[in-house]
Homo-oligomer: A and B are copies of this chain.
């Protein structure tokens, strides 16, 4: 059993690092500085990477031992506060079982010019629809996900919502949408989720 304060301490160390790397990702895509400035910055980045790699998990984040005080989801590509690739999404749960999130997608998530990649919209909706089906200690896995693209999703401030439409035996049918800053629905999704037998952690 890990104390709450251990998790808080660890998060206070590692979350600011992820935030800095996340900002660096955006800047590194958009930078127009000259070759010598790039080379200087790259040297600092490589030096930081070398310092950070002196003690490192052998595998991915989710495979570390679970009693070290860090939440498993901290490495998750959608919601992980230690994963600079994650926007990260903060998912809110309504009392009626619905879920929603307000988030921002920048240059790192681009597909068509100025727009989020359709597959990034699928990534967000897969996770959000899954969140409707998750129960504490009883994770749900995606069986099938169907995404319908209604229009382009502009980069910038976005909102996504999902809820359970119906349950048929072991299948949970969840539906959701992404909305752009003007409130227009850009992508809709339906997912079928199941609780794997014998899995309860």
| Chain A residues within 8 Å of B, Cβ to Cβ | 13-14, 16-18, 20-21, 23-25, 27-35, 37-38, 40-42, 44-49, 51-57, 59-63, 72, 75-78, 80, 82-85, 106-114, 117-120, 122-127, 130, 139, 141-149, 155
* B155, A149: Cβ atoms closer than 8 Å: no
Inter-subunit contact B77/A120 (CB<8 Å): yes
- A165 → chain B closest CB, angstroms: 17
* Docked complex Cα distance between A35 and B127 (Å): 31
Determine the residue in chain B with the shortest Cβ distance to A46.
Answer: B20
Chain B residues with CB under 8 A of A59:
30, 107, 114, 155
Q: Tell me which residues across on chain B come within 8 A of A47, comparing CB atoms.
A: 44
Other-chain residue from B20, B41, B62, B144 in contact with A149 (beta carbon distance below 8 A) = B144
Q: Are A77 and B111 also in contact (CB < 8 A) when A35-B13, A42-B20, A53-B27 are? A: yes
Known: A24-B48, A44-B48. A76 touches B32 (CB 8 A): no
Between-chain CB contacts (< 8 Å), 14 pairs: A13-B38, A17-B31, A27-B56, A29-B61, A29-B75, A30-B61, A33-B56, A44-B45, A60-B106, A62-B114, A118-B130, A118-B141, A118-B145, A141-B149
A54 neighbours in B (Cβ, 8 Å): 33, 37
Q: Report the separation of the CA atoms of residues A119 and B130 in the bound assembly, to the nearest whole angstrom.
A: 10
Give the complex CA separation of A143 and B148 in angstroms: 6
Chain B contacts of A41 at CB under 8 A? 17, 48-49, 51-52
* C-alpha gap A49/B24 in the complex (Å): 5
Residue of B nearest to A82 (CB): B29
Cα A47 to Cα B67 with chains together (Å)? 34
**A104, chain B: closest CB distance, angstroms:** 12
17 extra A-B contacts, CB within 8 A, seeds A59-B155, A144-B147? A21-B45, A28-B82, A29-B61, A30-B56, A30-B59, A30-B60, A31-B53, A33-B54, A42-B48, A62-B114, A63-B113, A72-B113, A76-B111, A78-B111, A78-B117, A85-B108, A119-B122
